[in-house]
């Protein structure tokens, strides 16, 4: 009977998540050499090559891809068993920008709970600037936000692309200002959109100044105006209209994870959070 050891499986999953031996070692608080030894021990024990490694890339082998879900389940079961030994629940304050949170939010929270059932997760939704300020004040353990300034710290979870979206029946008359549905002046997406229009000399007018993203989404879906949205969060039923109406390209941004947690258990939770976010984006890209 094959017996698996937790540390070897942790090493394999970390390498799979980060596609890097160096970053996996950093996440687990060990060295690249130790990670390599643990992976080899696991591969020898199960008699399969799990990771294909070249000077330029690290990727799962066919056997590794099959084994990955089972490995995650093995680690989750181990965490549940360990958590059951203690009645003490830990708290994890997570901020997620409202304009970043999408269908993956359920996946993120479910993965965190499966990873550590003893974790009480407190989620705060706000704009990126408000969450970053709260994080800097020590009110949040971690924050997932859209990068909106020159601040370069934080772990990049993925790119964020924007577009102009409208209902299929929306009509824009040539020569008239673009009818723009926008959020409050503090909204970063509003700034991206209006600056792009100003830079290209396209006149615009705000015909709907929203009281929240859901209200603006409803206005665009109803055909009242054009809206600038993240391409992955565009309102259902709308279409991208930049070419149709000669609108400028919108610059891309990045989604980043900020955290100052250093203890091993919290860092493992963060790694699980980041991996779940990346995996969900990969399934919809």
Q: Cβ-count burial of 236 within 10 angstroms (0-12 exposed, 13-18 middle, 19+ buried)? A: exposed
Q: What is the CATH number of the domain that holds 268?
A: 3.40.190.10
- Do 149 and 185 fall within a single domain? no
Of residues 188 and 240, more confidently modeled: 240
Strands 253-259 and 155-160: antiparallel
Q: Supply φ then ψ for residue 5, to 5 degrees.
A: -105, 145
| The domain boundary residue, chosen from 65, 83, 101 | 83
- Helix (H) or strand (E) run with residue 272 in it: helix 264-284
Q: Above 70 in pLDDT, residue 186?
A: no
- Mean predicted confidence (pLDDT) in 97-122: 75
- Mean predicted confidence (pLDDT) in 75-104: 74
Q: Supply φ then ψ for residue 159, to 5 degrees.
A: -75, 160
Give 3-state DSSP helix, strand, coil % of the chain, rounded to 5: 45, 20, 35
Give residue 61's domain range.
6-83
- Do 224 and 277 fall within a single domain? no
- Do 170 and 97 fall within a single domain? no
- Do 141 and 201 fall within a single domain? no
- Mean predicted confidence (pLDDT) in 14-43: 91
- Do 100 and 135 fall within a single domain? yes
Per-residue pLDDT tens for 143-177? Answer: 988 887 777 788 888 888 899 999 999 988 888 89
- Do 149 and 189 fall within a single domain? no
Task: Give the confidence band of 208 by pLDDT, cuts at 50, 70, 90.
Answer: low
- Do 224 and 95 fall within a single domain? no
pTM of the model: 0.61
Asked if the structure places residue 71 within a domain, the reply is yes
Q: How many domains in the chain?
A: 3
In this prediction, residue 128 carries a pLDDT of 85
In this prediction, residue 211 carries a pLDDT of 55
- Do 22 and 58 fall within a single domain? yes
- Do 78 and 140 fall within a single domain? no
Per-residue pLDDT tens for 250-277? Answer: 998 888 989 877 767 777 777 877 877 7
In this prediction, residue 82 carries a pLDDT of 72
Per-residue pLDDT tens for 46-85? Answer: 999 999 988 888 999 999 999 999 999 999 888 877 766 5
Per-residue pLDDT tens for 210-255? Answer: 555 677 788 888 888 999 888 888 888 999 999 999 999 999 888 8
Asked if the structure places residue 1 within a domain, the reply is no
- Mean predicted confidence (pLDDT) in 4-31: 90
Q: How far apart are CA 189 and CA 98, in angstroms?
A: 12
- Do 234 and 264 fall within a single domain? no
């Amino acid at each position: 009977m094959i017996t698996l050891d937790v540390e070897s499986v942790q090493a394999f999953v970390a390498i799979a998540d980060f596609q890097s031996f160096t970053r996996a070692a950093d996440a687990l608080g060990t060295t690249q050499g130790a990670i390599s030894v643990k992976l080899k021990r696991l591969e020898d024990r199960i008699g399969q090559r799990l990771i294909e490694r070249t000077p330029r890339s690290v990727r799962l082998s066919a056997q590794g891809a099959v084994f990955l879900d089972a490995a995650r389940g093995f680690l989750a079961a181990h965490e549940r068993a360990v958590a059951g030994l203690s009645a003490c629940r830990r708290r994890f304050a997570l901020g997620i920008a409202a304009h970043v949170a999408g269908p993956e939010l359920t996946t993120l929270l479910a993965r965190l709970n499966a990873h550590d059932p003893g974790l009480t997760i407190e989620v705060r939704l706000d704009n990126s600037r408000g969450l970053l300020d709260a994080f800097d004040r020590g009110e949040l353990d971690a924050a997932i936000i859209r990068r909106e300034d020159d601040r370069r710290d934080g772990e990049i979870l993925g790119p964020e692309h924007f577009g102009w979206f409208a209902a299929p029946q929306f009509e824009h008359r040539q020569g008239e200002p673009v009818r723009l549905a926008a959020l409050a002046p503090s909204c970063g997406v509003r700034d991206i959109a209006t600056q792009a229009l100003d830079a290209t000399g396209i006149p615009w007018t705000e015909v709907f100044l929203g009281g929240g993203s859901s209200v603006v989404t409803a206005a665009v879906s109803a055909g009242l105006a054009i809206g600038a949205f993240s391409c992955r969060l565009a309102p259902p039923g709308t279409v991208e209209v930049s070419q149709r109406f000669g609108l400028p390209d919108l610059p891309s941004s990045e989604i980043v994870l900020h955290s100052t947690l250093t203890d091993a258990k919290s860092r493992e939770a963060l790694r699980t959070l980041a991996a779940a976010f990346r995996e969900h984006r990969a399934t919809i890209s």
